[in-house]
Amino acid sequence: MKKISHSLTMAFIVLTSPLTFAASSTDLTVTGLITPNACTPTLADGGNIDIGKVPVKNLNPTLNTEVGKHYMSFNVNCDAPVVFAVKSIDNRPDTNIASPLFFGLGLTPADEKLGYFWPYVGNLLADGQRVDAIRSRDGGGSWTRATTINSNELLATSTIGNTAPIAVKDLSMLLWISTYIARTDSLTLTEEVPIDGSMTLEIKYLP
């Protein structure tokens, strides 16, 4: 009986399929969440690092030269525990060298890429407890352990050894920012050139 029933059903579908019609409409759905909680990020010293004057003779002609390693505290304070991430935005896009993960230092007057800076993260404390830094490259779809802040990625925190973002009220961490100037055989340095790196750290609330 099962074989006969199945054969009849298939025949019915074949016979009636020419009479089906394509849908003439589709839906767009907007979702989200309004939260009463807000978080405020702050960087020590107003987020300013002054490399000072770097003589050209101190720069390597064939290798990138590290011209500064600076330490800075970074804090995020929220009204209440909330799951959030920090999005890093390179304000000098397409001027860094070597990797899209870095943050550019601007261009020389001859439109040459001057170099890059790259913040490392450590000493993370969430509400007084040690936590890990985690990153997402797909907008929060997946997370992996992190030791640096990379351009245009999300940085969040997790309990030690895990990779799931957690709710935090007060977060603190230490950044150490390494700054490199490109090899001088790729640069025109016949006049003073400003070092002009900039990034924005933006709070993104997670579901």
Largest CA distance in the chain: 92
* Res 112: pLDDT: 95
Domain residue ranges of the chain, discontinuous segments joined by +: 37-205
Q: Average model confidence (pLDDT) for the chain?
A: 87
**8 A C-beta contact, residue 147 and residue 173:** no
Q: Which CATH superfamily is domain 37-205 in?
A: Fimbrial-type adhesion domain (2.60.40.1090)
Q: Taking 80 as the threshold, does the pLDDT of residue 172 lie above it?
A: yes
The SS3 assignment for 94 reads coil
* Res 88: pLDDT: 95
* Res 126: pLDDT: 98
Q: Among residues of the chain, what percentage have pLDDT more than 70?
A: 86
* Res 20: pLDDT: 56
Question: Which tens digits make up the pLDDT trace of 12-66?
Answer: 344 444 555 566 877 776 766 666 679 999 999 989 999 999 999 999 999 999 9
Q: Taking 60 as the threshold, does the pLDDT of residue 188 lie above it?
A: yes
What are the angstrom distances between the C-alpha of 10 and each of 21, 96, 207? 19, 62, 45
Contacts of 47 (CB under 8 A, 6+ apart): 72
Q: Taking 70 as the threshold, does the pLDDT of residue 140 lie above it?
A: yes
What are the angstrom distances between the C-alpha of 203 and each of 20, 105, 126, 170? 49, 23, 16, 13
* Res 21: pLDDT: 59
* Res 32: pLDDT: 61
